[in-house]
Structure 1
Amino acid sequence: MSLGTERGFADLLAKGASRDDGVDMRAGQIVCACPASLPRAGVTDNRLTLAMGFGLAVLAQALALTVLPEESRLLAPTIERVGWPFALLLVGAALASFPAALLVDGFGRRAAFGLGASLGAAGGALAAFSIAKANFFGLCLGAFWLGLAQGFALFYRHIAAQSAPRDGLVVLAGGAGAALFAPFLVSLAATPGATLLLASGLHIGALALSIRMPHMIAGAAIANKCRVDARFLLATTAGAIAWSVMSAGMLHGPLTLAVCAATPAFIGGAMGWHLLSMYGPSALAARRPELFPPTAALGAGLAVLAAGWTAVHSGASVAGVAAGLIAIGVGWGVVNIGALRLLHEGARPSRAALAFHDLCLLGAAAAGALIA
């Protein structure tokens, strides 16, 4: 190290030790070593990057869910265990809620979302290997890791909505664009193992995107106090019901279609349209939010969910089940629009409260997959 470099490093340490924001330094504290002249606008979140990262995670989830129910049916040692991989995917997503919130605050966007994408890449590869070796418990572990990645990815919407609730809807709309490619990628992969490897590759793409994110955010932070009021409880309760019905439909829908002798391409297309219907309403809400008043959106979405679940559960025909999956997706999407607006309009909850909200949603989804 040259003498000039040593002097520059010493000056940097001296500046860091005498901060002008009234906060004393402590041993082990991590501070930003960026030059003071760096424009603050240069370290803000890019909602397009967040939307692309969320879209890749949604697309990876679509590919995994296309093959997971049928492969679980083929590999499960007993009929009671068929739902285990799907339920463990949701359990993993629920367990990732609080770590995602804590890591975003403690280590920044780049490290938190990079960790989540890494888990997804490993989970997809393990699930593909387990299918090749006919190992049911390996498939369960791979699904659990994929769920952990999904739990981290779901926090994209809260990060974007921190700046403005409409930005959170833009991130959700990124899932709609991704869902359009699901049928094509399923047909391209051709086999279940290749489909899961492709899902792993999409998480690697999300990992590459995560390095474009800032370590931390410049600007207004989410409120420090944990706000749990009537709006929070309404959003969480309605969201939990919607996630429970959605998970039950996503488990039973592909299985019913397979029993009815639907082709893998048709099942993949139905799941792609299902995911498009889940995130499609958010694209409209991002442009015309006045069309989705929060409380009315919750009620309308739950009603559509009930109709869709009835069609899927009855299993009257292949077309009826596919239509029911689309209806479940639309209802789920509208409920989540209302819930996101209730959470982020006005006084905003802390990240701990948002993590608790996601935990309740994903816990209800796991329960729906196991009980229904």
Structure 2
Amino acid sequence: MSQDDADMRLGALYCACPASVQRANVTDNRLTLAGAFGLAVLAQALVLTVLPEQSRLMAPTVERIGWPFALLLIGAALASFPAAMLVDSFGRRAAFGLGASLGAAGGALAAFAIAKSNFFGLCLGAFWLGLAQGFALFYRHIAAQGSARGSLMVLAGGAGAALLSPLAVSLAASPAATLLTASGLHIAALGLAVRMPHAVSSPGRSSRQASLSRGFVVATIAGAVAWFIMSAGMLHGPLTLAVCAAGPAFIGGAMGWHLFSMYGPAAVASYLPGMFPPLPTLGAGVAVMLAGAGAVHAGFSIASVTLGLLAIGVGWGAVNVAALRLLHEGAPPSRTALALHDLCLLGAAAAGALAF
């Protein structure tokens, strides 16, 4: 690629891609996006397997048991706007590389905190892991450029990764080793992030931007309800299973299948989108989640709690499929609008972790 010297200046950002390469082929490598997102989901599965129980064992008071999980979600919420701005200003390679680096550091710090029985270190590590998850969630918006199906394909990558979580948990000898494995997965995601194109803008977004339409509002409200229920279930599900005398391996497997049920609907919708009309799917998804939350809260048996977690996951997946279609099938929303959407969802999730 040639560039006139007169056009170059210190600090200027240029696309390093040859002019002969089509822009869509440069910016829409969905397999890489799906792979990086899948690694982040697998890391999340490992963290969620050990974080609630370790919080219960290490918290100085009962009221603080939910702090690490809530900080995980608060970190994800706070990362929404920086992720959107960094993707546009410095490119996805730098933005997603930063997020994966935070996840690697957070997993290592949380593992060290468990080894030293330091509750506040666990809180800080969970917060950093949440920041990484907030960056990773933006993969689905990047992949949706031009079509909502691309976003569903990225979520489908999360379903495949969730299937590996029981194996990963069984291979880890201790909770600290599980968190170190999560840190290593974020390092692998960093390896994929640096292979992404250094693009600083998205095609077609400058001429036609969507305002905060009715579809955006409906998707955001329904998504916030779903994330609220999901976070409460993720916090209390493993704790209830532990109280019911379920072993760590079973809890890890249950959380892995829970995560698979969360992203499984996206795998189906990416090939059969007609099965998921947005508005009916939103209503059905919320109803299924409420039924699952009732089963988890009742805690009658290990089987009922596990089925409740699966129902919460399926309902969450359906709601997010419908929400993504509402967001991306019309005029493309701005990066700020997408960041606001994620902030509302993750803020509701943090509230769900602290509400019960």
Give TM class, smaller chain: over 0.9
Is the contact between residue 227 and residue 349 of structure 1 (CA under 8 Å) also seen in structure 2?
Answer: yes
Using the alignment, how far apart are the partners of 1:140 and 1:276 within structure 2?
A: 26
**Structure 1: 5+ residue stretches without partners:** 1-7, 18-25
CA shift, 1:14, in A, is 2.5
> Does residue 127 of structure 2 align to residue 171 of structure 1?
no
Q: Which residue pairs with 1:250 in the alignment?
A: 234
Q: Does 1:336 align with 2:320?
A: yes
| SS of match in other structure, 1:12 | coil
- Total equivalences in the alignment: 355
Could you tell me whether the CA contact under 8 Å between 1:123 and 1:200 is conserved in 2?
yes
RMSD: 1.7
Structure 1 or 2, whichever has the larger Rg, is 1
**Partner residue, 2:5:** 14
Task: Determine the structure 2 residue equivalent to 1:269.
Answer: 253
Output one character per residue of 1:79-118: Cα deviation in whole Å (capped at 9) or x when no partner: 0000000000000000000000000000001000000000
Question: CA 1:68–1:219 in structure 2 vs 1: closer, same or farther (change >3 Å)?
Answer: closer
Quote the offset at 1:212 in angstroms: 1.3
Q: Distance in 1 between matches of 2:298 and 2:245?
A: 16
Distance change (3 Å), C-alpha of 1:125 and 1:219: closer
| Deviation at residue 67 of structure 1 after TM alignment | 0.1
Residue equivalent to 2:353: 369
Deviation of the 1:184 alpha carbon: 0.5
Q: Deviations over 1:47-67 (max 9, x none)?
A: 000000000000000000000
- 1:49 corresponds to which of 22, 28, 32: 32
Which residue, 276, 280, 295 being the options, matches 2:264? Answer: 280
Structure 2 match to 1:3: none
Match of 1:297 among 281, 292, 317: 281
| Residue of structure 2 in register with 1:102 after alignment | 85
TM-score, normalised to structure 2's length?
A: 0.96
The aligned residue for residue 89 of structure 1 is: 72
Deviation, 1:38, is 5.0
In the alignment, is the contact (CA less than 8 A) between 1:88 and 1:143 conserved in 2? yes
Deviation at 1:150, TM superposition (A): 0.2
Q: For 1:62 and 1:79, how far apart are their aligned partners in 2? A: 24
- Ranges in structure 2 where 5+ consecutive residues have no aligned partner: none
User: In the TM superposition, what is the alpha-carbon distance from 1:220 to its structure 2 partner?
Assistant: 2.0
1:206 has 2:197 as partner? no
Distance apart, 1:211 and its partner CA? 1.3
Residue type at the aligned position of 1:16: D
Return the letter of the residue paired with 1:266: F
- Secondary structure at the aligned position of 2:12 is classed as coil
Tell me which residue corresponds to 2:223.
Answer: 239
Aligned to 1:139: 122
Query: What is the identity, as a one-letter code, of the residue corresponding to 2:145?
Result: Q
Which position in structure 2 is the counterpart of 1:121? 104
Q: Is the 8 A contact 1:125 1:196 kept in 2?
A: yes
d(CA) in 2 for partners of 1:39, 1:220 = 11
8 Å CA contact 2:75, 2:130 repeated in 1: yes
Distance in 1 (CA, whole Å) between partners of 2:242 and 2:299 is 11
1:277-326 per-position Cα deviation (integer Å, ceiling 9, x unaligned): 00001000000000000101100000100100000000011110000000
**Relative to structure 1, is the Cα distance of residues 314 and 42 closer, same or farther in structure 2, using a 3 angstrom cutoff?**
closer
The one-letter code of the counterpart of 2:61 is T
Aligned match of 2:293: 309
TM-score, L = length of structure 1: 0.92
Which whole-Å CA distance do the structure 1 matches of 2:223 and 2:5 have between them?
50
Q: Residue in 2 aligned with 1:355?
A: 339
CA contact (8 A) 1:43 1:217 kept: no
Residue of structure 1 aligned with 2:169, choices 183, 186, 192: 186
Q: 2:225 corresponds to which letter in structure 1? A: I
**SS of the counterpart of 2:133?**
helix
- With over 3 angstroms needed to count, the CA separation of the structure-2 counterparts of 1:33 and 1:220, relative to structure 1, is closer
**Deviation string, structure 1 residues 2-27 (Cα, Å, up to 9, x no partner):** xxxxxx9xx7343635xxxxxxxx87
Shift in Å, 1:138: 0.1
**Any idea what SS the aligned residue of 2:138 has?**
helix
- How far is 1:226 from its partner? 5.6
How far is the alpha carbon of 1:164 from its aligned partner?
A: 1.1
Residue equivalent to 1:195: 178
Q: Secondary structure at the match of 1:302?
A: helix
Q: 1:93, 1:148 within 8 Å by CA — same for their partners in 2? A: yes
Cα deviation code 1:125-156 (max 9, x no counterpart): 00000000000000000000000000000000
| Aligned: 1:155 with 2:143 | no
1:334 counterpart letter in structure 2: A
Deviation at 1:258, TM superposition (A): 0.6
Give the partner amino acid of 2:5: A
After TM superposition, give the deviation of residue 162 of structure 1 in Å.
1.3
Change (3 A) 1:225 1:66: same
Aligned-partner residue type, residue 82 of structure 2: P
- Structure 2 partner of 1:130: 113
